[in-house]
Structures are given as structure tokens and as C-alpha cells.
Structure 1
Amino acid sequence: MTDKKTALVISAHAADFVWRAGGAIALHQELGYDVTVACLSFGERGESAKLWKQDGMTIERVKEARREEAQAAADALGVRDIRFLDLGDYPLRLDREAQDRVVDIIREVQPKWMMSHSKWDPYNTDHMNTTQFALECRMIAQAWGHNPGQKVLGAPQMYLFEPHQTEQMGWKPDTFLDITPVWEKKKAAIHCMQGQEHLWEFYTNVARNRANHFRRNSGGMAGGRKAEYAEGFESIFPQTVDELA
């Protein structure tokens, strides 16, 4: 039995993990976790407009540029294991073969917690379909009758990271994480995503706003812990505790 601490982030496109969970990833890497990032697609068709505006651009060149950006961002966050499944985007085609591949990754990693998108996103159905897919893969990875002989998954929490247009998504955060100690790493990762430069300042502001929520929910004016940058998450499953804090 191993005490190795692991986590798995399932990202629809190659940049999603950076904007929405880069702080959590960098922080847990520093805490001794091995965080695996699985990018289902490069976001080559729907999230690479800046690249497509260049003359002579091709789908393969866009994919390569996105891979390089995501790898550089992962390096900035301290991630040593990033997987590119190259399933295509807009739309993501999440068939049984893709499911089997991700279940294998989950069982290999044996994550202490998992993370993916919000459950609802009418602006980008790739995102919400990824979360449904991730939940199904988690369920299959727990099934003793799936590929008998493999180590089955326990019951990791599934956290849903913040969507882009939060107020439209029915996303309700119940967990705020102080990422101030690793903000410079997340900032460096954000700046690796050259194809979506328009989001750099947006997600900096999100992190500042969530830090305000962290301060208020850690005691507010009565002694809340100072935080300058934070990320918010919605958990899917109940927590089990021995004492209420």
C-alpha cells in the first residue's frame, strides 16, 4: 500500500486547466502531490482564433502551437505528467474508446481528488460534456467487473472549477483555496497561453475576487486570513469528517 499523494485534472481543452485550476495544481505540487493533467483536446478548432488569423495556418500547426503552450504552462506549474488525448474539439467526441483510455488513466493515477468543469455550460458544451464524461469514467474506474485484475478506484472527491461566465452556469462554489503562495507560478502559466491573451487579465481579476471570498469565509472582518489570490471550486460528493470545524 502506497501513501503517494496524487490528483487528476481532466481538461476539455489544452488551456482550461491553466485558467481555472492552475493555482490548485501548483500548490498541490508544492505540497508533495503528483498532479496529472489530462487534456482531452488541444482546443484547436474553437479556442485558437488568434492562431487561425495567421496566414497559411493549418490544423496541425495549431495543434502543435497549443501543445507547446500547454506543456510550457504545465512546466511553470511544476506538473511532470500532462497527457494529450487529441480527441478533437467543437465538438468533443467522447466515445467508448475515449472512455476506456481515461478510465485506464484514472486507475493508473489513483487520484486522491479529481477536478473538471462545471456541470452546465450552454456557451461551450465541450466543457459540460467533459464533466459528465469524467463522472462516468470515475464510476467505471470503481467497478470491480471492469477489466478485472486492475486496481479499482476508491472514492475521490470531484471538484468542479470555475466556468468562464459563472452567473450563467449554476455553479455554486463551496470551497475556496488560497493560491497566494503560488500566484507567480499561475501567472507564468497564464502568460504561456499566447493564443488566448484576451483572458490573461480576466482570470487575474477572478483570482483577486475569489481571494475576497476566501477572506470573508475565513472570518471576514473578525479575523479572516489574508489572501490576495484564490480559486473557487464546487464539490460533487459529501465530505466525511470526525469533527465539525
Structure 2
Amino acid sequence: MTHANAPSPSVGPARAGGPPSPPRSTLVVTAHAGDFVWRAGGAVALAACRGEKVTIACLTFGERGESAQAWRAGKTLKEIKAIRREEAERAADALGAEVRFYDAGDYPLLPTAELTDQLVAVYRETQPDVVLTHPAEDPYNGDHPAANRMAMEARVLAQAVGYPGPGEIIGAPPVFYFEPHQPEMSGFRPEVLLDITEVWDIKRKAMECLAAQQHLWAYYTDLAVRRGVQLKRNAGPNLGLAYDTMAEAFMRPFPQIAKELA
């Protein structure tokens, strides 16, 4: 699904005697229904607005651990899952992404062979150029490191010719960890600062789809402002950055590949 204001999908150069290469692909592996919005909504919207394909693998609805308001209102488990699914679908639509739900159960999120196979399949189907997921540490929410481990394991298995399942093997797409809610306690370093100013209104609209976690709207707005200040401080003068630059922070678990230092 592409955002309504997005340009036509950008494609790579045509191979000799063949069709053009497909649009770039981003895969987001997220533990709960709202995580992809708070932590990487700007990155998702930027990719979608460039005409790239973005697929969100949402492992759980966050029905037990991140839906306190609905529980207090007397909703049933089935009703809460439906609420969170609808919110996440509207948020993904606002960002211009496709979201897929695996209903693996949260608090705790536990790995299974079936879920591993499903993640390997989505890697091979989407052939991601970039992967976004949780960092490896989060002492406040064990579901987030669990999602990280599954995302990283499936990435390796999807590269293995001998691992069974449909689809072509993948390469080694770079991985970016998005910022956890408590970065200081999770070993997170803001190694990559992404300017999301041009899509901030889109991210904010997606955030407002998540009424079950309305208490986080102000927090993640403030965080985008703070990361924007850091981005400008590290970018240097005369780069034409907006006064009210908004940004998201990411961390890289693997080395950056380069032919020159920049």
C-alpha cells in the first residue's frame, strides 16, 4: 500500500535485455501493534513516499501488555485484539505500509518453529534492502528482545540455501535497531539520526490512530524534537535544515559497508 501523496514507485535501472529491477523493499519486524509507529514511523513514511515497498511483520497485537485502557474498560481479549488490529491497520495505512499480523501472543512473546518459518517466508518474499527491528536489550519489556532475536535469526535462516521453505534466498540486508522507550537502560546509542521533518505530519497522524496508547503521543513528539536538535548539531551549518527539524534515532548491529568515509 502506497501513501496517497507518494510518487510512483521508484525502480532500479533496467538490467541488460531485461525489465527494471523492483522497487526497494523495507521489512519492519515489530513485537506489538504500536511499536512500528512510535519508533520507526518516520522511516516507514519516508520510504513509502519514495515509492518503496514497506512490509511490517507485527508479531502480536500487544493485547495483554500494552492495552491497559481497554482492560480497565472491561473489554474481552477478543475485543482488545480487534481494537489493536484496527488501530495498527489505520496507522500503517497512514504511513503507506502493509502490515501483517502473526498473533503470536504477548507477555510473554515466545519463539516457535512455526513463527520462525513464517518470518523466514516473509524475508524471502519481500527480499528486503533494509530491515528495522527492536534492539537486543530492553529490561522493561522482554517481548522486544524476543522480537529482535527472532528477526535476526530469521534473517540468517532466510540466507541459507538448505533451510526449507518457499521463495528465493536473500542477501544480507543491513539492519537498523529503532530506539527503545528507555534508551539509557537498554544500551542504545543513537548512531544514525534520520531527518523525518518532511513526513512528520504523516507520522503524527499515524500516532493518533493509536488511541489505546494516547499517553505516548506527547512523549514521542518530544523525542522527535530532541533527536532533531541532535541531528542539526551533528550535521554542521549551511545544510538547509529546518529550524524545527524532527528526527528518529537508530543503531546498527553490523558494520557499515563503504568505499569512502563520509
Query: Which category of TM-score, normalised to the shorter sequence, fits these structures?
Result: over 0.9
State the secondary structure of the residue aligned to 1:35: strand
Match 2:199 to one of 149, 166, 182: 182
Distance in structure 2 (CA, Å) of the matches to 1:182 and 1:72: 17
Using the TM superposition, give the Cα deviation of residue 138 of structure 1 relative to its aligned residue in structure 2, in angstroms.
0.3
In the other structure, the counterpart of 1:208 is 225
Whether 2:29 is the aligned partner of 1:14: answer: no
Please give the per-residue CA displacement for 1:94-123, whole angstroms capped at 9, x wherever unaligned: 111100001000000000000111110010
Partner of 1:234: 251
- Secondary structure, counterpart of 2:257 in structure 1: coil
Letter in 2 for 1:92: L
Please say if 1:163 is aligned against 2:180. Answer: yes
Q: Does 1:23 align with 2:3?
A: no
Does the CA contact (< 8 Å) of 1:216 and 1:224 recur in 2?
Answer: no
Which stretches in structure 2 are left out of the alignment for 5+ residues?
1-14, 16-20
**Match status 1:134 vs 2:154:** no
SS at match of 2:56: strand
| Counterpart amino acid of residue 15 in structure 1 | G
- Three-state SS of the structure 2 residue aligned to 1:107 is helix
Q: What is the TM-score normalised by the length of structure 1? A: 0.95
2:94 is equivalent to residue 76 of structure 1? yes
Normalized against structure 2, the TM-score is what? Answer: 0.89
Question: Aligned ranges for residues 55-94 of structure 1 at < 5 Å?
Answer: 55=74, 57-79=75-97, 81-94=98-111
2:161 corresponds in structure 1 to: 144
- Report SS of the residue matched to 1:67: helix
Question: In 2, Cα distance between the equivalents of 1:225 and 1:89?
Answer: 43
- Give the letter aligned to residue 184 of structure 1: D
Cα distance change of structure 1 residues 119 and 137 upon mapping to structure 2, 3 Å threshold: same
Change in 2 beyond 3 A, CA 1:116/1:149: closer
Instruction: Look up the SS of the partner of 1:197 in the other structure.
Output: helix
Q: For each residue in 1:141-187, what CA deviation from the matched residue of structure 2 results, as whole angstroms up to 9, or x when unmatched?
A: 01011127731110101100000011100011211110000000000
Query: Is the partner of 1:147 in helix, strand or coil?
Result: coil
Indicate the residue corresponding to 1:97 in structure 2: 114
139-148 vs 118-127, which deviates more? 139-148
| Distance change in 2, residues 1:218/1:59 (3 Å) | same
Matched position secondary structure for 1:10: strand
User: What stretches of structure 1 move > 3 A for 4+ residues in a row?
Assistant: 222-225
Task: Please state how far the C-alpha of 1:59 moved relative to its aligned partner.
Answer: 0.3
Contact 2:117 2:165 in 1 (8 A): no
What per-residue deviation string (whole Å, max 9, x for no partner) do you get for residues 46-101 of structure 1?
1000111113x10000000000000010111111x210000000001211110000
Supply the AA of the counterpart residue of 2:261: L
- Work out the CA distance in 2 between the residues paired with 1:178 and 1:108: 29
The equivalent residue for 2:60 is: 41
- Sequence identity of aligned pairs in percent? 47
> Going by fraction, where is helix more abundant, 1 or 2?
1
Question: In 1, distance between residues paired with 2:232 and 2:85?
Answer: 36
What one-letter code is carried by the residue in structure 2 that aligns with 1:33? Answer: E
Q: How much is the aligned-residue C-alpha RMSD, in angstroms?
A: 1.3
User: Which is worse superposed, 97-106 or 144-153?
Assistant: 144-153
Deviation digits for residues 25-61 of structure 1 (CA, Å, limit 9, x no counterpart): 0011011210000100000001000111113x10000
Q: Quote the Cα distance in structure 1 between the aligned partners of 2:241 and 2:56.
A: 29
How many aligned residue pairs are there? 241
